[in-house]
Amino acid sequence: MTSRPTFIFALFLPLTVATISAHAETFQWKDSNGQTVVSDVPPPATAKGRRSIGGMKPAVVSEALPEKTGDAPKVADAPKTTAEKDLDFKKRQQEAREKADKLAAESEKSENCERARRNLVALESNQPLSTYDEKGERKLMDSSQRDQEIERARRFVADTCK
């Protein structure tokens, strides 16, 4: 008791996969060390015994090397190996992590600077301020304590807000 859409899906899925894979092209060539290389990336122009194994392209790739001219662009390097791709990926991750850490540090620094400036403004206002002693009781700040705190806050702003 399968439904009709499930049956149709099960019938056409293998056909779709087979059609897509038929368009893939595979190349085979000998590298400079004489080893046979099979890849989905076209071989470099200097490769010996180049040929196409599958796909819609012609079966034999031209054996002739391109003529060298002064204006001709350089031949692309061989495709990157999995290890090289992995190394590049890890490098990009590390750079992104460092960038995020730097942004977070700058953000924290600007927040601390703004907080210190607000604290200094509050201390310089003539509003009564209080502190808590070691017993947890509120105690009003006298003028000498306020002056000490203002001086400390100014130094902190000067150090933090560069």
Residue 3 in this model has a pLDDT that exceeds 70: yes
The CA-CA-CA angle for residues 31, 34, 37, to 5°, reads 45
DSSP 133-155: -TTS-EEE--HHHHHHHHHHHHH
Residue 59 in this model has a pLDDT that exceeds 50: no
Q: Is position 2 within any domain?
A: no
Structure pTM? 0.42
CA atoms within 13 A on the CB side of 133: 6
Residue 2 in this model has a pLDDT that exceeds 70: no
Q: Is position 59 within any domain?
A: no
The residue-averaged pLDDT of 15-28 equals 68
Domain span at residue 132 reads 84-160
The residue-averaged pLDDT of 15-41 equals 75
Domains held by the chain: number: 1
Mean pLDDT rounded to a whole number for the chain: 80
**Quick one: pLDDT at residue 36?**
86
**Quick one: pLDDT at residue 21?**
57
Q: Is position 54 within any domain?
A: no
The residue-averaged pLDDT of 89-113 equals 94
Please give the helix or strand (H or E) that residue 114 lies within, else none: helix 82-124
Q: Is position 64 within any domain?
A: no
Query: What percentage of residues in the chain have a pLDDT greater than 70?
Result: 77
Q: Is position 91 within any domain?
A: yes
Residue 76 in this model has a pLDDT that exceeds 90: no
